[in-house]
């Protein structure tokens, strides 16, 4: 495909306005999607794209799943918003569902991953505070991503995201991911919590080495600090299990979930064991929008469908297909250095920058994410066998063209 697709007048007009009025912190491509269905998106020229980004792992059921749309519509017609001064059924049901499907006993609902991380940091510190223990230290890892608020940023181990925002929270430390000795040297009795992603997503899909999560769990138990797993990207079926840490059979004290949790609407959760959750006593934390009825309805329907349609197994199978087919590409495409990940969270490390390949794939009808020299794939869990094969074909052309 060598035809270049000039944006239409509609797209041009939208882009010109965007450049004028939007804070310039994003650089989206010069196409603007108009509608989506399943793993597919169409732009204003009616060009079709296979969407292997899922809105950064949010759209587990793809775009515009009819049952999720129906759940949203029906909830919106009954009750849009109540705030935290009233309970509503969906909020309670979502907390119960998260407790039933995890190690957790208590849940705090919010609106995003970042807010879930703030809740986790606060719950960890407060858990010790109410025992009269003033430990406040946080240990996280290089290459991590936990969000953009100053709290979450203080444990995000990527300097570019912090530039210009100093000072960070005091008593935070970063150690190399996967390095048990470095973690041992960093944690002590001043540590309130160690924070880890089971698979680092944002920095290029780095899977925790075998035994690492268990070793960190043991270190946390030794010094009496809490272990927090950021499951914002790895959770809700992305890796072929409900939560990424299930692959390692290690349980944290706190887990954060967001992205796919709200079925496309903003919803985050902090899930904690009983003693930790109990530290968030009356009035100690809160949010106006968190646990919004419509977001809960969309999320509950999404969880129901993932279970009913056996999408954890599907994520595992389609993930294996993707891995096998990309591995086969390596024979003819030496640019590919490594393929890694779990389920439908896959990173392809290249010997070159990934941005140009991402752009070629888009021109050819496939949307992927690029991070430095890594192509990241986060297709919806409902992606078909044929769609995976089509995506690999496009990837092959995109990568081949760079040799
Ligand atoms: C996306 C992400 C976040 C931040 O979530 P937002 O909803 O963007 O605030 C935090 N941690 C991880 C692992 C993520 O992937």
Which of 195, 252, 259, 264 best tests ligand 1's pocket when mutated (most atoms within 8 Å of CB)? Answer: 259
| Of 41-50, 166-175, 188-197, minimum mean pLDDT range | 41-50
Of 16, 19, 303, 254, the closest CA to residue 128 belongs to 254
| Of 56-70, 76-90, 234-248, 309-323, minimum mean pLDDT range | 76-90
Give me the pLDDT at residue 6, please: 67
Task: Report CA(329)–ligand 1 centroid distance (Å).
Answer: 31
Question: Looking at per-residue confidence, does 7 or 374 come out higher?
Answer: 374
Span 31-56, average pLDDT: 95
Confidence band for 402, pLDDT divided at 50, 70 and 90: low
| Of 40-44, 123-127, 201-205, minimum mean pLDDT range | 40-44
Residue with the smallest CA separation from ligand 1 atom 10 is: 146
Annotate 57-98 with DSSP letters as a single string. Answer: HT-TT-BS-HHHHHHHHHHHHH-S---TTS--HHHHHHHHHH
Give me the pLDDT at residue 197, please: 98
- pLDDT reading at 270 higher than 70: yes
Give me the pLDDT at residue 1, please: 38
Q: The tokens 């204003």 sit on which residue?
A: 44
| Of 7-16, 52-61, 209-218, minimum mean pLDDT range | 7-16
Residue with the smallest CA separation from ligand 1 atom 6 is: 113
Q: Which atom of ligand 1 is nearest to the CA of 112?
A: 7
> What is the side-by-side strand order in the sheet with 40-43?
33-37, 40-43, 48-51, 366-367
Task: Report CA(369)–ligand 1 centroid distance (Å).
Answer: 15
Active site residues: 145, 230, 259
Which conformational region is residue 160 in: left (phi greater than 0), alpha (psi within -120 to 50 degrees), or beta? alpha
Residue with the smallest CA separation from ligand 1 atom 8 is: 113
Structure tokens at 229: 């797993």
Q: For ligand 1, which residues put their CB under 6 angstroms from it? A: 112-114, 145-147, 197, 201-202, 230, 232-233, 258-259
Which of 118, 143, 232 best tests ligand 1's pocket when mutated (most atoms within 8 Å of CB)? Answer: 232
Q: Which atom of ligand 1 is nearest to the CA of 152?
A: 10
Does the bond joining 109 to the residue before it have cis omega, within 30 degrees of 0?
Answer: no
Confidence band for 83, pLDDT divided at 50, 70 and 90: confident
- pLDDT reading at 127 higher than 60: yes
Span 352-364, average pLDDT: 96
Which of 145, 149, 267 best tests ligand 1's pocket when mutated (most atoms within 8 Å of CB)? Answer: 145
φ/ψ of residue 340, rounded to 5: -145, 170
Give me the pLDDT at residue 85, please: 86
Span 368-393, average pLDDT: 98
Residue with the smallest CA separation from ligand 1 atom 5 is: 113
Task: Report CA(47)–ligand 1 centroid distance (Å).
Answer: 30
- pLDDT tens per residue, range 280-327: 999 999 999 999 999 999 999 999 999 999 999 999 999 999 999 999
- pLDDT reading at 19 higher than 70: yes
Task: Report CA(121)–ligand 1 centroid distance (Å).
Answer: 14
Task: Report CA(57)–ligand 1 centroid distance (Å).
Answer: 10
Q: The tokens 């009913």 sit on which residue?
A: 308
- pLDDT reading at 365 higher than 60: yes
Percent over 70 (pLDDT), the chain: 98
- pLDDT tens per residue, range 233-244: 999 999 999 999
- pLDDT tens per residue, range 98-109: 999 999 999 999
Give me the pLDDT at residue 27, please: 83
Give me the pLDDT at residue 401, please: 67
Span 211-232, average pLDDT: 98
- pLDDT reading at 123 higher than 80: yes
- pLDDT reading at 403 higher than 50: no
Q: Which atom of ligand 1 is nearest to the CA of 147?
A: 4
Task: Report CA(345)–ligand 1 centroid distance (Å).
Answer: 14
- For all residues of the chain together, what is the average pLDDT? 96
- pLDDT reading at 187 higher than 70: yes
Burial of residue 85 (CB within 10 Å: 0-12, 13-18, 19+) is exposed
Task: Report CA(182)–ligand 1 centroid distance (Å).
Answer: 25
Task: Report CA(255)–ligand 1 centroid distance (Å).
Answer: 13
Q: How many CA atoms lie within 13 A of 317 on its CB side?
A: 10
Give me the pLDDT at residue 5, please: 61
- pLDDT reading at 3 higher than 60: no
- pLDDT reading at 153 higher than 50: yes
- pLDDT reading at 4 higher than 60: no
Span 10-36, average pLDDT: 89
Confidence band for 45, pLDDT divided at 50, 70 and 90: confident
Which of 25, 55, 113, 116 best tests ligand 1's pocket when mutated (most atoms within 8 Å of CB)? Answer: 113
- pLDDT reading at 82 higher than 50: yes
């Amino acid at each position: 495909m060598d035809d270049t697709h000039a944006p239409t007048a509609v797209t041009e007009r939208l882009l010109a306005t965007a450049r004028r009025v939007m804070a310039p912190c994003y650089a989206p491509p010069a196409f603007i999607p108009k509608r989506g269905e399943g793993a597919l998106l169409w732009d204003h020229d009616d060009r079709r794209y296979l969407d292997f980004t899922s809105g950064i792992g949010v759209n587990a059921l793809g775009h515009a799943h009819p049952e999720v749309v129906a759940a949203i519509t029906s909830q919106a017609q009954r009750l849009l918003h109540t705030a935290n001064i009233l309970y509503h059924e969906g909020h309670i049901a979502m907390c119960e569902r998260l407790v039933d499907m995890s190690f957790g006993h208590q849940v705090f609902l919010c609106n995003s991953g970042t807010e879930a991380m703030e809740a986790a940091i606060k719950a960890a510190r407060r858990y010790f505070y109410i025992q009269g223990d003033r430990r406040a230290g946080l240990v996280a890892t290089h290459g991590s991503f936990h969000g953009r608020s100053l709290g979450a940023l203080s444990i995000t181990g990527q300097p570019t995201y912090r530039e210009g925002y100093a000072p960070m929270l005091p008593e935070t430390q970063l150690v190399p991911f996967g390095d048990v000795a470095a973690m041992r040297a960093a944690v002590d009795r001043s540590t309130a919590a160690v924070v880890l992603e089971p698979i680092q997503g944002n920095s290029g899909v780095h899977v925790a080495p075998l035994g690492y999560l268990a070793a960190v769990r043991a270190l946390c138990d030794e010094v009496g600090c809490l272990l927090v797993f950021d499951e914002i990207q790895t959770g809700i079926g992305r890796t072929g299990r409900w939560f990424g840490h299930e692959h390692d059979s290690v349980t944290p004290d706190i887990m954060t979930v967001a992205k796919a949790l709200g079925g496309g609407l903003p919803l985050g959760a902090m899930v904690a064991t009983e003693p930790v959750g109990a530290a968030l006593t009356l009035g100690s934390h809160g949010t106006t929008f968190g646990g919004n009825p419509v977001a809960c309805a969309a999320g509950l329907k999404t969880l129901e469908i993932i279970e009913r349609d056996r999408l954890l197994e599907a994520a595992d199978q389609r993930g294996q297909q993707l891995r096998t087919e990309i591995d086969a590409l390596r024979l003819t495409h030496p640019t590919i250095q490594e393929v890694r990940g779990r389920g439908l969270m896959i990173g392809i490390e290249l010997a070159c920058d990934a941005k140009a390949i991402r752009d070629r794939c888009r021109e050819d009808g496939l949307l992927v994410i690029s991070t430095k020299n890594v192509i990241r794939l986060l297709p919806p869990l409902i992606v078909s066998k044929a769609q995976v094969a089509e995506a690999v074909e496009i990837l092959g052309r995109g990568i081949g063209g760079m040799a």
